[in-house]
Structure 1
Amino acid sequence: MKSFNLGLLPRLIAAIILGILIGAFLPAPVVRLFATFNSIFGNFLSFAIPLIIVGFVAPGIAELGNGAGKLLAITTVIAYISTLISGFFAFTVSTNVLPKFIHYSSSFSAANPEEKLLKPFFTIEIPPLFGVMSALVIAFILGIGMASLKEKNLYNVVSEFQKIVQMVIEKLIIPLLPVHIAGIFANMTHAGEVARILSVFGKVFVLIIAMHLTIILFQFFVASLYSGKSMIMALRNQIPGYLTAIGTQSSAATIPVNLECAKNNGVSEGIREFVVPLCATIHLSGSTITLTTCSIAVMMLSGMPVTLGKMAGFILMLGVTMVAAPGVPGGAVMAALGILQSMLGFGEAQLALMIALYLTQDSFGTACNVSGDNAIALIVDKIASRMKLKAA
C-alpha cells in the first residue's frame, strides 16, 4: 500500500484549527504542556539557525563563484536588484496599508512576551554554538574562500554538512512545525487574542497576493521594454509555469516547465538553460515580498517600531540570505529566521507567527519567484546578444 502523505499546508491549517480548539475547550495545564513543547522546540530552533546559515550560505556563495564569468555576474546583479525592488516595494505598500487594520497585541510584545501567554512547566536551554552575525561572517569567509581555491576538499566537507542540515530541516524541523504552531495558537486562544490574529492573517494574505501580481507585471513590463518582446505574449506564455509552481510549491520542480516558457518567449537555448536554473536559486522576489510584509505585520502586532533604517538593512541582507534558501517547503523563511532574530529582534512567538504567515502563501510566493525568473531570462538574453556572451 502506498503511504498517505498530507502536504505541509493542510497540516498547518489543521494545526491552527486544533490549536484554537485546545485553547478554547481544554484546561490550562494542557495548554501549558504545549507551551513547554514550544519552549524546547524554540530553543532548538535558535540553536539550529546559525547552523542553517553556515550550511546553506557558504556552499551557495562557493557555487556562485564557480559560474560562467560575466554572464553569471550580470544575472546575479539583475536578480539581486529585482529582489531589492520587490523588498522596498513591499515595505512602501505595507507601511501605508497595514496600519489601517493591524494594532498592537500584548501576546506578541517583545518586551513582555509572557504578559498573557501561559508559561511552560519547565525550560531546557540549548545555547547556539555562535551568534547569527558570527554565522553570517563565517559563511561569507568560507564561501568566498572556497570559490577562490581550486581544491575541493573543504567544499566537499561543507556540502556534506549542508546535506546534514537539510536533513534536520526535512526530517525534524518541518514535521514538528505543525505541533509548534498548534501550541502557539492554543496559547493565543487561551489569552483571548486569536480572533484578531486570524483576521490579520486573511488581510495580510490578500495584500501579499496583490503585491505578487503587481511585481510580476512590473518585471515583465521592464523585460519586454528592454528586449522588444510582447509583454502580453510573455505573460501568456508564463501561465503554465505560474500554475505549476502553485501546485509543486518548489522553484526547482518547476524548472522544466519554466524552461519551456522561456523557449516560447524566444529566449536562446544556452541562455535559458543557464539563467532559469540559476535564478531558481538566487532570485526570490515573491518570497522577499512575503517576508518583508509578514515581518512588518508581526512587528506591528508586537508594538515594535517599523523604521526605514531598520527595514532597509533587513531587506539588503534578505536579498543575500535568499541564496541560502533550502529547497524544501518554507525554505525561504527557514533561511531568513537568523536575520529576523538578529536584525529585527524577533522572539519565539514572533518567529512562530512568521512561519505560519509565510507557509500559508508559500505556493503563490514560489509562483511569483519563477515568473520573475523568466522576466530576467528575457533581459539577460538581450544583454548576451548585444555583448556576444555565451553560457558555459
Structure 2
Amino acid sequence: MNKNKQSVWKNYRFPIILILSIVIGSIIGIIFGEKAIVLKPFGDVFLNLMFTAVTPLVFVTIAGAVGSMINMKRLGKILGNLFLTFVVTGFIASVVILVVVKLFPPAAGVNIVMEAGTELESVKLSNQIVNALTVNDFSKLLSRSNMMPLIIFSILFGFCVSSLGEDNMIAKGLDAMSKVMMKFIGIIMLYAPIGLGAYFASLIGEFGPQLLGAYARAMVIYYPVCILYFFIAFTGYSYFAGGKLGVKTYFKNILGPAITSIATQSSIATLPVNLEATERMGVPKDIREIVLPIGATMHMDGTVLSSILKISFLFGIFGQEFSGMGIYITAVAISILGGVVMSGVPGGGLIGEMLIVSLFGFPPEAFPIIATIGFLVDPPATCVNSTGDAVASMVVTRLVEGKGWMMKNVQMLSSDNNS
C-alpha cells in the first residue's frame, strides 16, 4: 500500500504541486480581486523564461532530429503521416462542434450591446499564408511570433546536415545542444509553481467576473465539449495508437502537459513538458522532436472547436442563419486554416478572429465580440491543442512503426529506467 502511494506520488508529484499552486493562486485572485494583479510580474517572469528558451529549443530539437536521420525515407513518412493525422483530427473536431452548435446555438437568448469599433485592417488570405510560412529577414526567425517559419528553416537546415552523411560533428552538436536546452527547461520548471500560482492569481483577479457575463451560454457549451473531446476522442486516438496500453500510458503521462497548458494558455510554453511526457510514453525521439514542435503551431483541435463556435455565435448575434453546406465548408476551412496560422501563444487567436470577421463579411464591431469569446475559451482550447499534440505523436508512431511499437518502446524505456 505504501509502495503504491509512493509510486503515485513519484509519478504525479510535480503535477500535484502545480495544481495546488494554481488553486492557491485562484483563491488569492477571488479573495483580493483586482488587487491580486500586483502578483502578475512573478507570473510574467516564468512565461518570459519559457518563451525565450522555446525558440532555441525548437531549432535544436527539429534540426537535430532531422540532421541525425540518415534515412530520408523515414523523414518523409513521418511528415506525411503527421499532416494526415493533423487534417483528420481537425476535421473530426470540426464535425463534432458543428453538430453541437446546431443542437445548442451559442447565441440563443444572448443580448449584447455592441459598441462602435475601430476600423479593422483588411486581411488578405494569400498574404496571411505567406506570412505564416516565411519571413523576410533571418533575425525574425528568432521570434516566437514566427514559429512556423522557424520550423521550416529548422527542417531544411537539418536536411542539409543529414546530407553530409553519418558521424558529422554538426549533428552531434545539435543533439548535445538539445540535451542542454532540455536541462535548461528543467531548471526553469523549478520556478513553475510560484510563477503559475502568481499568474493565475492575477488572471482570476482581473478577469474572473467576466465569466458570469453575457457569454455564459457559449462557455457552458464550449467547456463541456472540450472535456468530452479530451476524454472520448483522445481515448479513441490513443487506443488506435497502442490499444489498451496506449490509453493507459497516455492518460498516465498527460496530466503535466494538460495543467501547464491551462495555466500558461500557450502550446509553445507547454512544448518542453510535452517532450518529456511523450518520452515517457515511449514515442521515439525523432518522431516526438518533429511532431510536437510542428504540432504546437499547426495541430490545434481546440482552435478548430472554438473557431466554429465563434462563427456560429456571430451568425446568431447578427440574426443570420448558420446553415447550408457552403457555409459549413467555409467554416471548417477557416477553422483549420486558423489552426495553421496560429503562433501557439496567448493572443495569437486574433489573426484567426480577423479572418472570420473579414471573410464572412461581418462589420468591424464583430471583432471585439469574438475576441472576448477567444479569451474566455483560451484555457480549455489550449489544453486540447497541447494534449492533442501528444496523442498525435503516438498516432504518427503507430503509422510509421506499425502496430506493436508501444509494447516494444515502453518495455525498452522501462528496462532503461531500471538499469
- Identify the residue that residue 376 of structure 1 maps to in structure 2: 392
Alignment of 1:338-349 (within 5 A): 338-349=354-365
Letter in 2 for 1:227: G
The structural deviation recorded for 1:300 is 0.9
- Identify the residue that residue 184 of structure 2 maps to in structure 1: none
CA contact (8 A) 1:251 1:370 kept: yes
Higher normalized helix content (fraction of residues): 2
- Identify the residue that residue 137 of structure 1 maps to in structure 2: 126
User: Is it true that 1:209 corresponds to 2:223 in the alignment?
Assistant: yes
The structural deviation recorded for 1:372 is 0.8
CA contact (8 A) 1:314 1:339 kept: no
Query: Normalising by structure 1, what TM-score?
Result: 0.60
Match of 1:72 among 59, 72, 79: 79
- Identify the residue that residue 236 of structure 2 maps to in structure 1: 221
Deviation per residue, 1:185-231 (Å, 9 max, x gap)? xxxxxxxxxx9x96541222122111112222213323323433331
CA contact (8 A) 1:242 1:370 kept: yes
- Identify the residue that residue 292 of structure 2 maps to in structure 1: 276
State how far apart, in whole Å, the 2-side matches of 1:164 and 1:251 are: 11
State how far apart, in whole Å, the 1-side matches of 2:139 and 2:353 are: 21
The structural deviation recorded for 1:336 is 0.8
Alignment of 1:243-322 (within 5 A): 243-308=259-324, 309-322=326-339
CA contact (8 A) 1:103 1:300 kept: no
Q: CA RMSD in A?
A: 3.9
Alpha-carbon distance change, 303 to 158 in structure 1, aligned in 2, over 3 angstroms: farther
Letter in 2 for 1:311: Y
- Identify the residue that residue 157 of structure 1 maps to in structure 2: 137
CA contact (8 A) 2:303 2:335 kept: no
Quote the sequence identity (%): 21
State how far apart, in whole Å, the 2-side matches of 1:363 and 1:375 are: 19
Unaligned 5+ segments in structure 1 are 1-9, 16-62, 109-116, 147-154, 167-181, 183-194
Matched position secondary structure for 2:394: helix
Letter in 2 for 1:73: G
Alignment of 1:114-129 (within 5 A): 128=121
The structural deviation recorded for 1:297 is 1.9
User: Is it true that 1:324 corresponds to 2:341 in the alignment?
Assistant: yes
- Identify the residue that residue 377 of structure 2 maps to in structure 1: 361
Unaligned 5+ segments in structure 2 are 1-28, 35-61, 67-74, 147-206, 406-419
Matched position secondary structure for 2:331: helix
Letter in 1 for 2:329: A
- Identify the residue that residue 102 of structure 2 maps to in structure 1: 95
State how far apart, in whole Å, the 2-side matches of 1:76 and 1:319 are: 12
State how far apart, in whole Å, the 2-side matches of 1:104 and 1:302 are: 11
CA contact (8 A) 1:224 1:378 kept: no
State how far apart, in whole Å, the 2-side matches of 1:380 and 1:285 are: 16
State how far apart, in whole Å, the 1-side matches of 2:315 and 2:220 are: 18
Alpha-carbon distance change, 363 to 266 in structure 1, aligned in 2, over 3 angstroms: same
Letter in 1 for 2:125: L
Letter in 2 for 1:209: Y
CA contact (8 A) 1:259 1:273 kept: yes
State how far apart, in whole Å, the 1-side matches of 2:131 and 2:371 are: 28
Letter in 1 for 2:236: F
How many residue pairs match? The answer is 277
State how far apart, in whole Å, the 2-side matches of 1:293 and 1:103 are: 15
Alpha-carbon distance change, 290 to 230 in structure 1, aligned in 2, over 3 angstroms: same
Letter in 2 for 1:91: L
Deviation per residue, 1:352-373 (Å, 9 max, x gap)? 0101111022122111111111
Query: Normalising by structure 2, what TM-score?
Result: 0.57
The structural deviation recorded for 1:158 is 8.6
